[in-house]
């Protein structure tokens, strides 16, 4: 019996994972000439490359970063031709939850509506406006790469907050289910449910399933709905990043765009994301 429900859950994962394969892959951007050697780009945290130029050169550092767009640092880059990357190119707080929001949402059992939902076209448009400004100010200089935001995730780092119950996200989930299962009878057979229509299917969070974790019931637990929901959210995240990457390439076709650490997901690898990956800090 336990094997039967395990196989059901795995079937759900494979069905929804298949939808990621339908995503159009992001094109490759040839690396800039500055990528022909190992280069350390120093984040401007407790340091200022303009004031500390001699110190940088004393340890053979000739690279830095610009947060969004900073005229003085961009002028420095044009003068020295030192490579730099642009961080928070899509601004901050869209691709991860800020500290205050994270604290407000942590520990809540129902699936939360994500502030700046990635299913909302207004969120995507807002990020593209930031990209237009920040990439526009760096294009044609010694820019090394564009990073959308740092340490992105659907929530905040690895904080276990389940999102996104935004109405547009729910509708998107239901559309994906209909495309994958084709008819409600097939979905009911997978879920062990009795839904009348795909519009009746609503996601359930981990806490709702955890309540069923009892020693004598483990073999009967069907996680298909939960697995499908998380597979969909991974795909939604990947689609958003792919869209931002393509838009960045339209603005500057010669410079790779990407993300920072902690955002890894199988969906991203399947569509050739990221074009560039911002590394972690060295303490």
Instruction: Name the pLDDT band for 5 (thresholds 50, 70, 90).
Output: very low
The percent of residues above 70 in pLDDT, for the chain, comes to 81
* pLDDT mean over 115-134: 97
C-alpha–C-alpha distance, residues 86 and 256, integer Å: 11
Determine, yes or no, domain membership for 252: yes
Which tops the pLDDT comparison, 276 or 186? 186
d(CA 17, CA 232): 8
b/e string for 47-82 if b means 16 or more Cβ within 10 A?
eebeeebeebeeeebbbbbbbbbbeebbebbeebeb
Find the DSSP H helices in the chain: 2-21, 53-58, 71-80, 99-105, 121-138, 167-181, 184-191, 206-210, 224-251, 266-270
Q: Is the pLDDT of residue 251 over 80?
A: yes
Range of the domain at 245: 2-278
Region of poorest pLDDT, from 20-34, 62-76, 202-216, 219-233: 20-34
Contact of 79 with 87, CB cutoff 8 Å: no
215 part of a folded domain: yes
Predicted confidence at residue 73, as pLDDT, reads: 96
pLDDT at 207: 77
Taking only the tens place, the pLDDT of each residue in 190-248 is 999 999 999 999 998 887 777 777 777 666 788 899 999 989 998 899 899 999 999 99
The answer to the question of residue 177 being in a domain is: yes
Instruction: Please state, in angstroms and rounded to a whole number, the distance separating the CA atoms of residues 146 and 88.
Output: 8
Would you put residue 93 in left (φ > 0), alpha (ψ -120 to 50) or beta?
left
Residue 118 near residue 236 (C-beta atoms within 8 A): yes
Q: Is the pLDDT of residue 183 over 50?
A: yes
Q: What is the pTM of this model?
A: 0.85
* Residue 274 pLDDT class (50, 70, 90 cuts): low
Q: Is residue 283 part of a domain?
A: no
3-class SS of residue 238: helix
The CATH number linked to 104 is 3.20.20.80
- The number of folded domains in the chain is 1
Indicate the pLDDT class of residue 269, thresholds 50, 70 and 90: low
DSSP β-bridge partners for residue 66: 86
């Amino acid at each position: 019996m336990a094997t039967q429900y395990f196989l059901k859950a795995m079937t759900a994962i494979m069905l929804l994972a298949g939808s990621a394969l339908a995503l159009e892959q992001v094109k490759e951007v040839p690396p800039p000439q500055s990528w022909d050697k190992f280069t350390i780009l120093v984040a401007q945290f407790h340091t200022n490359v303009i004031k500390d130029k001699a110190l940088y050169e004393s340890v053979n550092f000739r690279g830095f970063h610009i947060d969004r767009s900073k005229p003085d640092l961009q002028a420095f880059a044009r003068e020295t031709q030192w490579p730099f990357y642009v961080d928070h190119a899509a601004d901050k707080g869209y691709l991860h939850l800020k500290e205050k929001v994270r604290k407000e949402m942590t520990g809540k059992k129902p699936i939360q509506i994500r502030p700046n939902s990635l299913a909302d076209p207004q969120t995507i448009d807002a990020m593209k406006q930031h990209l237009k400004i920040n990439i526009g100010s760096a294009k044609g200089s010694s820019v090394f790469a564009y990073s959308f935001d740092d340490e992105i995730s659907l929530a905040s780092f690895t904080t276990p907050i389940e999102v996104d119950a935004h109405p547009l996200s729910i509708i998107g989930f239901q559309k994906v289910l209909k495309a994958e299962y084709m008819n409600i009878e097939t979905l009911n057979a997978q879920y062990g449910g009795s839904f009348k229509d795909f519009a009746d299917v609503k996601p359930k969070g981990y806490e709702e399933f955890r309540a069923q974790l009892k020693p004598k019931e483990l073999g009967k637990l069907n996680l298909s709905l939960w697995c499908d929901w998380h597979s969909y959210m991974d795909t939604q995240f990947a689609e958003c990043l792919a869209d931002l990457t393509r838009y960045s390439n339209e603005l500057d076709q010669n410079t790779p765009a990407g993300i920072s650490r902690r955002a890894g997901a199988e969906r991203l690898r399947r569509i050739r994301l990221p074009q560039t990956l911002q590394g972690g800090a060295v303490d």
